[in-house]
Amino acid sequence: AELTKYAANAMLATRISFMNEMARLCSVVGADIENVRRGIGSDSRIGYSYLYAGCGYGGSCFPKDVRALTGMARRAGAEPNILSAVTRTNDLQKRWAFSVTVARLGADLRGRVIAVWGLSFKPNTDDLREAPARSIIAGLLEAGARVRAFDPVAMPRARNEWPHEWLSSGALSFAANPYHALDGVDALVLVTEWKPFRAPDFGDMKRRMRRRLIIDGRNQYDPAQMRELGFEYCGVGRGE
């Protein structure tokens, strides 16, 4: 029963990491991961569940259970090659949004203000355990940026659970609503696919942002539409 439970979550984590690896390949060869997803998901042997590229998985189950199964295998003398690769791929993917930000704005982010939409590891929860947003924000702050974040429910927990120096220094602040987070920013990083973020007021966003750069870590928006609206858009494996 223990092995079955670990294996189930490890399988789902593997699907996510596989799609993120395919997304990195799509970025190199100019393909769109969304077209790949629709194509392979139409195969009934595969299906669409957990087949979305993004900025990595977090939470209380997937990271813990993959590590537990990895440890079980090693103690039994069976080297878990795939499980180890799943974890490495996810750790790498959590740095994707920061890497894209640096590629667009430069390695020295001093004087830059970055908005982050979404702090929890998934929507409809305030759970911050191993959330990609923490890794992204840590990278941005270390590079000298100031971060203004918004999450519909997770901000109180972030204030209590994340490093105090982030807030006391003023490097990280929380906005009253998603649009206030955008005032004068150099980029928006969308981390959690909360429903209110799916169809925002793009006109209001354009008026507020200093640089209209959207780094979409959940592929919520259509690249062609974003360009037509006047945004500089970066999705996960969208063929840019």
* Edge-first strand listing for the sheet containing 232-235: 172-174, 146-150, 113-117, 187-190, 213-216, 232-235
When computed from its CA atoms, the radius of gyration of the chain, rounded to whole angstroms, is: 18
Q: Which residue has the tokens 């090659």?
A: 81
234 is catalytic: no
Catalytic site positions: 61
